[in-house]
Amino acid sequence: MKRSIVRILPALAVAAGFATPVSADFDSRTYFVPAISYVGADTDRALPGADMEDGGMGLQLGLGKALNERWNLEFSLVGDILERVSGDDKFEQAGLLVDGLFFFSRNPGFAPYAVIGAGALNTEYAG
């Protein structure tokens, strides 16, 4: 009997993590995720970025939706531009990201989460 309980308890703990508790204050609205980033040029390699300026600004625009009490799904477009120190050449990156956010708690004061995601990034260099 003791062995059965020892085997069942971890399984119940894992299942509880995937359960969707019903909460009256659960907010499932779609939300907008804007972000500004800074990209530093890599001068340690013999790449097109070797004679770039110190860095460049990037932008991320995304949409997210809470699927249940534990999971959110986000789709984002990302991009950045680095300009060469001399000339009009540019190093551009653009991409699409898909992220799943697993929330350990939905506490409004502090809601820790883990992210798993995938994406594609297109890099173009004119020079």
pTM of the model: 0.66
Q: Which residue type occupies 39?
A: V
The pLDDT tens digits for 31-78 are 999 999 988 776 654 455 455 556 788 999 999 999 999 999 999 999
Placement of tokens 């699927």 in the chain:
67
Q: What's 45's DSSP letter?
A: S
Reduce the DSSP state of residue 44 to 3 states and report it.
coil
Q: Can you give the residue ranges of every domain in the chain?
A: 22-126
Q: What is the C-alpha radius of gyration for the chain, rounded to an integer number of angstroms?
A: 22
The pLDDT tens digits for 66-116 are 999 999 999 999 998 877 666 667 778 899 999 999 999 998 899 999 999
Q: Quick check: 62 and 74 in contact, CB under 8 A? A: yes
Token pair for residue 21? Answer: 């508790």
